[in-house]
Amino acid sequence: MNINQTLHAVTIKAPFYHSGTDAALHRYLDTEFINRFQQDIQQQQFTLPQFSSWMKEDKHSPHDNKPVLRLPLHRAFHLVSCEVVCDQLGKPALDPQRITSAGFVIRRINGEQEYAWQLEDGEALGWQPAPDELRDPDIHRRLCANGVLQKRAAQPTYSGEEVFPLHTHTTHDDKGKRHTLLFGYVPLGGFYYHRNTATAFDESSQKAVVDADAQSLSWPFGYRKPLKRVWNDTVARTVNGGKPGQPFFELLRLLVNRYHLGEDAIESNSALAKKMDQLWFYDESAFSAQLKKMDYQESNRHHFSGYRKSSLWSYLRSCFDNAKENPLVRWISEQEIAIDKVGGIDNFSSFSALPASSASQSINWTLFVSEADAEEIRELLGQRLRNQALAQVQEIPLPKFTQEQEDAYQIIPFVRALNDQGKEQIQWVENANRSILFRVAAPFDPEASRPSLIQMPSLSDLKRGMAKGASFITPADTFNLVNNLKLKKGASEDVIPDSEPGPSLGVQWICSFSLPVITLVAMILLMIMISLLNIIFFWLPWVKICLPFPKINKGS
């Protein structure tokens, strides 16, 4: 900044009506909070005890005694307020005409480290370490060394720390002294997407997830206990005469249900697909006497190559290419039903033969894997899980405000004002005059939630009027299924139509339902589920309270 430029000393402090030195926080429970705030200022209502009691009510954090600010979905709205004065004798109010703009930033405070919510080209980057000095968050408004503003681009895109506006309000205290207040709405929402997947998870967390997933599979494809790391012909023979063993069933269920291995155009499955294309079904009935005595190993697998029938990848592809229904999906479901009947997979040993695909009429072959194959499959499954997690984290909106122990927040106001030479200068609040540290409530925080009154319909409302509530556009095949539901049959296989109308018919239906009926059905189902789960959790006293309630007087 040019040394010849004269600054106008400006200070941001707590508002005159506030007993502390920090920027004041206010809570309102209705949407007219701006008008209410201005009215309270005019009538000098903030000296009353009820305007500070909300902080005592909202100190319900499990971590400490900091107040917890509620979200708009809790029908609660927060304002921040401070006062700007000339830093000279008597602390006169700064002339509002000098103020070009004012705002505040929200910082996440973790011990001595501050984090700023950063934007780049309008897109949120998330919490980043804050700069050591408090500078203008808009790079285009920072002064050069000669005291001149930096040149703006033709169409500047804001990049830097996210800023929220503060508005000016001039008022007088009970002694007639003028005050220039700055106030603004505190938005407690927002989200961001992970751009840099390399920093999305730490290595220990990734390893813990991969290890936990490996516990879901039996040896040799996983590490579920009891673990027997013994390699023999029984382990290598994962499918015998078309019937899989437990380890291969678990592997097949994971590949089909989770990763849809066999579907086209899933690029992330390429490594697994390549490996499955190296595993073969063999016609063991045609083995020579010498080959029948030989154990399948990495060193002698070439002796078996003449008896190959189909690779595992080709089999999966043919199942997924089935136009009517994937036979493998139905087969897995049938095995799971049988497993449930005997009390779990560890009690089940009689898997039925693999289903025929569209390319073959029977599967009575044997699938061998070597110890090296199993090890590579374990590595590929771990990597596939990592890749899936990294791909999903780029699509998951992560909340701006979280509720961990290290998640405390603070508001830092600033003002831009014209100095004595008509140049814009920025002044940040001193550390002692920032807002108090606070936390932000979770969306379903039971302590932050407020009662929501939903009017239940009367039984007499069910037969009144037409069904003109919620309407659903229903394709012909879905309508055919729903329309065949019968009271006694329910949702059994009998209601599935033999011939489903294809999309070429060009017919669809609009089904409208009465809102009173939908509301009543939802309430009945809710009560049934609560009663059923109460048998297990005994949670009824915490989830339901019914008490007689008089009719509310509507007034005259």
Question: Which 8-state DSSP code applies to residue 251?
Answer: H
- pLDDT tens by residue, the chain, 556 residues: 444 455 678 999 999 998 889 999 999 998 999 999 999 888 887 766 666 788 888 998 999 999 999 999 999 999 999 999 998 888 899 999 999 999 999 999 988 899 999 888 778 888 989 888 777 887 667 665 445 555 554 444 456 889 999 999 999 988 889 999 999 999 998 888 877 666 667 778 778 888 888 898 999 999 998 888 889 888 999 999 999 999 999 999 999 999 999 998 889 999 999 999 999 999 988 888 888 888 888 888 888 888 999 999 999 999 998 867 889 999 999 999 999 999 999 888 889 999 988 655 668 899 999 999 999 999 999 999 888 888 777 788 888 999 999 999 999 999 999 888 888 888 999 999 999 999 999 988 888 888 877 888 887 777 776 777 788 888 887 887 777 777 665 556 665 655 555 554 567 888 888 888 888 888 889 888 888 887 777 777 766 666 565 655 544 3
Percent of the chain, pLDDT > 70? Answer: 85
Question: Which 8-state DSSP code applies to residue 309?
Answer: E
Q: Alpha carbon of 76 to those of 111, 185, 187, 449, 455: distances in Å? A: 28, 11, 11, 9, 22
Confidence (pLDDT) at 488? 64
Q: Which amino acid is at 161?
A: E
**Residue 429 near residue 413, CB atoms below 8 Å:** yes
Residue 521: phi and psi, rounded to 5, are -65, -45
Number of H helices, E strands in the chain: 13, 23
Confidence (pLDDT) at 555? 47
Confidence (pLDDT) at 200? 67
Q: Is 549 left (phi over 0), alpha (psi -120 to 50) or beta?
A: beta
Tens digits of per-residue pLDDT, 256-278?
A: 999 999 998 889 999 999 999 99
Copy the structure tokens of residue 366.
């044997």
Confidence (pLDDT) at 461? 75
R_g over Cα of the chain: 34
